[in-house]
Amino acid sequence: MKISSLTETELIAARQILQKSYQACTDQGYNLDLTRGKPSSAQLDLSNELDGILGGFYLLQDGTDVRNYGNILGIPEARQLGAEILGVGMSETMVGGNSSLTLMYNFISHMMPVWSEEAGEREDAVKFICPVPGYDRHFTLCEHFGIEMINVDLLAGGPDMAAIEKLVKEDPMIKAVWCVPRYSNPTGHTYDQNTVKAFARLDRVAGKDFRVLWDNAYAVHDLIDESAQLHNLMDEAKSSETENSVVMFASTSKITFAGAGIAFLATSTTNLKAFEQFLGPQVIGFDKVNQLRHVRFLKDLKNLKTHMNKHKALLKPKFDLVEEKLKSNLGDSGVADWTNPTGGYFVSLNTLPGLANEVVRLAAGAGVKLTPAGATFPYGLDHDNRNIRIAPTYPSLDDLGLAMNVLVVSIQLASVNHLLDR
Ligand SMILES: Cc1ncc(COP(=O)(O)O)c(C=O)c1O
């Protein structure tokens, strides 16, 4: 049913039917949640072998006892694993604790004095470019550090590079750009080769100490076999002699245990040395026992991919269900569009302009919690009020189906009401 082309009489009839369907949902007393971008218990179970895998052997080949202090950049075996995931050299990679977000926080803390000094001299603010829709915690980090955020559209092949180049050229206080280059949160898009090349060249036109924050959180999180490949940013940057602008992040949060994985940061060896000095006063070394457990369990990139296939088997039916519910109920409605990702953790859905808040409100009224409208934009401000992030990974398949039914009816009802109110 093409809702957007219905006549007024047809809309009134549709509204009556939809109000009944919506009431039927509310009568169920659901308590469902589509907000949580975290692995399900079945996914966590895939890594239970981590527990006890060391079997009392704590020594590395070079004799290092991982139970003791030291190795602030991580054990070589884990640095190698991170380097393989990120497609860089081991000497460019460090391993932190259980969160890449902590590494991002620390990296920004480390750069802030340098950026702020220049900001003070220019009586201006430190600014970051934020491709939108994007990951809310990147925006929270910026707000925390008082960094001004500038929106740039995220397109199917990556952020609008022409817009980014223009902004960066014109304003030397733009000090970084956030990127989730593979299976972006929330759209699931992967940056194409030209975009990656353009990012590698950006430092040439940017102000001093510019950084591309390459958060490759979903580097190995494919949902199909013929997955989208990501061009290697570090190799490109080396050809352009801009490797100091590249800072990459990843973690095993959605590979092993979300709360007890290991995180990676990769950058030029010059930057890494400076960052190591920054970390020195706060930590003598991260949890090397966990690093060794991960190395024993995941081994190398090839084995890790076999492990990720098990995640794929659990996740693919959930993403298929989301697509099926959206397509069969809204496919030709003209009131919503959405992404059908081949990897990552999310689906990004757009309602008609101005309706995201109302859809979230209606769904909540029928017992389905959705990520607040606006969360995918800096300052929580989606000026078009239309983007909603769907997180299919955590609920059971049954709960996901029920929650999607409610979402679909909420979108249909909000759209029909809106069209009648015009
Ligand atoms: C793009 C992105 N980066 C980072 C994270 C968090 O990673 P970590 O658990 O390593 O802190 C997430 C989690 O949802 C994410 O979506």
**95 Cα: distance to centroid of ligand 1 (angstroms):** 15
Give residue 227's pLDDT band: very low, low, confident or very high (50, 70, 90). confident
Can the peptide bond before residue 378 be classed as cis, meaning omega within 30 degrees of 0? no
Residue range 186-207, pLDDT digits in tens: 999 999 999 999 999 999 999 9
Residue range 13-49, pLDDT digits in tens: 999 999 999 999 999 999 999 998 999 999 999 999 9
Residues 6+ away with beta carbon under 8 Å from 383: 377
**249 Cα: distance to centroid of ligand 1 (angstroms):** 9
Residue range 370-396, pLDDT digits in tens: 999 999 999 999 999 999 999 999 999
CATH number of 3-43+305-421: 3.90.1150.10
Residue range 272-317, pLDDT digits in tens: 999 999 999 999 999 999 999 999 999 999 999 999 999 999 999 9
Pocket test for ligand 1, best of 185, 249, 348 (most atoms within 8 A of CB): 185
The ligand 1 atom at the shortest distance from the C-alpha of residue 263 is: 10
Q: What is the largest CA-CA distance in the chain?
A: 80
Can the peptide bond before residue 131 be classed as cis, meaning omega within 30 degrees of 0? no
Q: Helix (H, G, I), strand (E, B), or coil: what is residue 99?
A: coil
Domain at 53-299: CATH architecture: 3-Layer(aba) Sandwich (3.40)
**217 Cα: distance to centroid of ligand 1 (angstroms):** 6
**334 Cα: distance to centroid of ligand 1 (angstroms):** 33
The ligand 1 atom at the shortest distance from the C-alpha of residue 251 is: 10
36-40, 135-139, 235-239, range with the lowest pLDDT: 36-40
Q: Where are the domains of the chain?
A: 3-43+305-421, 53-299
- pTM here is 0.97
Residue range 76-122, pLDDT digits in tens: 999 999 999 999 999 999 999 999 999 999 999 999 999 999 999 99
Looking up tokens 């079945």, which residue turns up? 42
The residue whose C-alpha atom lies closest to atom 2 belonging to ligand 1 is 217
Give residue 52's pLDDT band: very low, low, confident or very high (50, 70, 90). very high
The residue whose C-alpha atom lies closest to atom 16 belonging to ligand 1 is 185
Residue range 61-70, pLDDT digits in tens: 999 999 999 9
Structure-token pair, residue 254: 């959605």
pLDDT at residue 228, as a whole number: 82
Pocket test for ligand 1, best of 220, 251, 265 (most atoms within 8 A of CB): 251
Residue range 159-178, pLDDT digits in tens: 999 999 999 999 999 999 99
CA angle 285, 290, 291 (to 5 degrees): 70
Residue range 239-259, pLDDT digits in tens: 999 999 999 999 999 999 999
**193 Cα: distance to centroid of ligand 1 (angstroms):** 23
Q: One fold for both 3-43+305-421 and 53-299?
A: no
Task: For residue 248, give the nearest of 140, 89, 109, 77 by alpha carbon.
Answer: 89
| The dihedral formed by the CA atoms of 20, 25, 29 and 35, expressed in degrees to the nearest 10 | -140
**Is the Cα torsion angle 372, 373, 376, 382 positive or negative in sign?**
negative
Pocket of ligand 1 (CB under 6 A): 37, 99-101, 135, 180, 185, 215, 217, 251, 253, 263
Pocket test for ligand 1, best of 215, 257, 287 (most atoms within 8 A of CB): 215
Task: For residue 342, give the nearest of 323, 368, 362 by alpha carbon.
Answer: 323
Task: For residue 79, give the nearest of 291, 289, 235, 234 by alpha carbon.
Answer: 291
pLDDT at residue 1, as a whole number: 80
Residue range 325-353, pLDDT digits in tens: 999 999 999 999 999 999 999 999 999 99
Whether the pLDDT of residue 152 is over 90: the answer is: yes
Burial of 212 (0-12, 13-18, 19+ CB in 10 A): buried
Whether the pLDDT of residue 422 is over 90: the answer is: no
Q: What is the average per-residue pLDDT within 392-403?
A: 97
